[in-house]
Amino acid sequence: MSEILVVGSLAYDSIKSPEGEVEKSLGGSANFFSIAASHYAPVRVVGVVGNDYTDADENVLKERKNIDVSGIQKIKDGKTFHWKGKYEGDLSEAITLQTELNVFEHFDPKLPENFKSSSHVFLANIDPVLQMHVLNQIQKPQLTAMDTMNFWIMSKVTDVKALLKKIDILFINEGEAKLLTEKANAISASEEILKMGPKAVLIKRGEYGVFVRTQDGMAVLPAYPISIVTDPTGAGDTFAGACFGYLCKAGKFDLHTLKKACVHGTAMASMTVEKFGMARLREATSGELTQRRAKLLEISTFSAE
Amino acid sequence: MSEILVVGSLAYDSIKSPEGEVEKSLGGSANFFSIAASHYAPVRVVGVVGNDYTDADENVLKERKNIDVSGIQKIKDGKTFHWKGKYEGDLSEAITLQTELNVFEHFDPKLPENFKSSSHVFLANIDPVLQMHVLNQIQKPQLTAMDTMNFWIMSKVTDVKALLKKIDILFINEGEAKLLTEKANAISASEEILKMGPKAVLIKRGEYGVFVRTQDGMAVLPAYPISIVTDPTGAGDTFAGACFGYLCKAGKFDLHTLKKACVHGTAMASMTVEKFGMARLREATSGELTQRRAKLLEISTFSAE
């Protein structure tokens, strides 16, 4: 039996975009990832919330029969992580206005005993020291992946690089891949990243889709076309969730399988951006996901003669 | 018999990029376009050069048996158009340092009589008033296309829009498509552009490839992967040349044919960026172009199950 352990944030996000704004809407990498991944495999969540985290929000993961929330700590005298940001113009970049770490500041991820045998591990974007701490608690992972961000690359690059030596797949934004490698484009950055340890790297390009690289080759998939993007927050975590969920179900991660996983991740991520927060992702049905994968393949299938 | 008439610039470019620099290297939209298109169909060039335009540079087009240069005027007391620019970082944008219009300032495109029956017309990026002037001289074009740029969209948008009502295909950079339509992404910008007149729009995205839109649907093709881009100057004109050349040869421009044309355009454009100026494009062989198209299709072919 395969199952995914994910450690990441459970958060409240206050977001402004050209399409409107929301105050303290449910978010966080572990939330987006888990919902997406749960379409493919059982998910075990490790994270921390404060006393302001509502029962209704807790239920978003709990109500799904293949998500185990017993690794979520609730800190009685603390507040949930809160991110405030905005998007402008083409919405390609989040502008952070405020970050309140709150309960995340002293987060010590402790895994329930039965989580330690998880076959698949996803370390969402948190402090690389905590990512390593979680990874070290897993007995014998079959497949491991991580995400990271510019903040950690700039402040704790040694820890990020130590992790890269231990994990199989890196999920990373294009700008951050260039920052990490000091290369000018995804092609040369991905070459450099493979030298750092991972067997595969998935470079997330927002509205331009995803660039995949392994020792066996590369692949480029466009994003699913959405005319009006309301809120890109969580799209990358949603992509990673469906992608890694697909890999868990498939039981392998060769280039051919990774390409299929990216189609699943891309279709799922296109849901997330259509509404603020997790609203659209939560209501995604397998029928509409199948339709989106078909349309994505249609617009990206070419021939030369 | 089908043949392409192109009007555009014949220029000297002084270019600096992270990979080096060149002084007064041969360039201009009509030069790049013609070489690329000549792989597919006969090309007739309309343009203007000064007395500094060398015989060797004239020969670059003249030596190709299916390029007719009799529409190139040589102004005895004038100098050739000169552009000076640089690229930094990810080379996604050209920074113009100097533009000397020279003989282009009073360019009055006069077509040789036998050019007026051309079946296919490409109006490369020049003043939209001149583009219209050329188009009006063509008796009965079967297929017409144009390119433009931010300078004309900002200074002569009425002329640009008048042209859009008369042409079949618009080739345009993504940033310029957004500028023209005041939309946030290629999907909504392309919807808007189709309302302005063209039956198809090809949005050029540099290292992210091309976005295609017609009334029948859309398509997204990545760029051919190049680890080290030396000089992107002329890549868009090369793309347009091979793409439009393919369409001329095919004799149709439905979405299916446009997609094939984009594969040809993308492979050809990947040549241009590998060296400064036209050096790499000029030596491109049909064998290596076939190889690049095959590799491009390989990295962009996906399935879901």
* Residues B247, B240: Cα–Cα separation, whole Å: 10
Q: Phi, psi (5° rounding) for residue A88?
A: -130, 170
What tens digit of pLDDT does each residue of B207-221 get?
999 999 999 999 999
Q: Phi, psi (5° rounding) for residue B133?
A: -60, -40
Question: Binning pLDDT at 50, 70 and 90, where does residue B305 land?
Answer: confident
What tens digit of pLDDT does each residue of A27-37 get?
999 999 999 99
Which ranges in chain B belong to alpha helices (H)? 29-37, 55-62, 128-137, 150-155, 157-164, 174-181, 186-195, 235-250, 255-272, 279-283, 286-299
H or E stretch covering A134? helix A128-137
In whole angstroms, how far apart are CA A73 and each of A50, A104, A108? 8, 11, 10
ipTM: 0.93
Q: Do A219 and B302 touch (CB under 8 A)?
A: yes
B218 touches A at CB < 8 Å: yes
Distance of CA A161 to the CA centre of its chain: 19
Q: Phi, psi (5° rounding) for residue A123?
A: -100, 95
| Superfamily of segment(s) B4-299 | Ribokinase (3.40.1190.20)
Q: What's the confidence (pLDDT) of residue B273? A: 97
Q: Which residues of B213-226 are buried (b: 16+ CB within 10 A; e: fewer)?
A: bbeeebbbbbbbbb
* Residues A47, A65: Cα–Cα separation, whole Å: 18
Q: What's the confidence (pLDDT) of residue B45? A: 98
Below-50 pLDDT ranges, chain A: none
Q: Do A227 and B263 touch (CB under 8 A)?
A: no
pLDDT higher than 90, residue B90: no
pLDDT higher than 90, residue B1: no
Q: Phi, psi (5° rounding) for residue B137?
A: -85, -10
Residue B20 — left, alpha, or beta (φ > 0 → left; ψ -120 to 50 → alpha)? left
Question: Binning pLDDT at 50, 70 and 90, where does residue B180 land?
Answer: very high
Q: Output the DSSP codes for A194-218.
A: HHTS-SEEEEE-GGG-EEEEETTEE
Suggest the residue from A182, A183, A288, A302 to mutate for an interface test with chain B (most B CBs closer than 10 A). Answer: A302
Q: What's the confidence (pLDDT) of residue A90? A: 86
Q: What's the confidence (pLDDT) of residue A89? A: 87
Distance, in angstroms, between B265 CA and closest chain A CA?
10
Tell me the three-class secondary structure of A68-117, residue by residue: EEEEEEECCCCCCEEEEEECCCCCCCCEEEEEECHHHCCCCCCCCHHHCC
Q: What's the confidence (pLDDT) of residue A93? A: 87
Q: What's the confidence (pLDDT) of residue B183? A: 95
**In A, residues 233-262, which contact B (CB 8 Å cutoff)?**
259-260, 262
Q: Do B184 and A260 touch (CB under 8 A)?
A: no
What are the residue ranges spanned by the domains of chain A? 4-299
Least CA distance to A292: which residue of chain B?
B304
Distance of CA A299 to the CA centre of its chain: 25
Q: Which two tokens stand for residue A163?
A: 């992790």
What tens digit of pLDDT does each residue of A165-223 get?
999 999 999 999 999 999 999 999 999 999 999 999 999 999 999 999 999 999 999 99
Q: Average pLDDT of B87-109?
A: 92
Q: Do B304 and A259 touch (CB under 8 A)?
A: no
* Residues A98, B303: Cα–Cα separation, whole Å: 41
A270 vs B contacts (CB less than 8 Å) = none
CB–CB of B244/B43 below 8 Å? no
Of A188, A220, A298, the CB nearest to B228: A188
Q: Do A298 and B228 touch (CB under 8 A)?
A: no
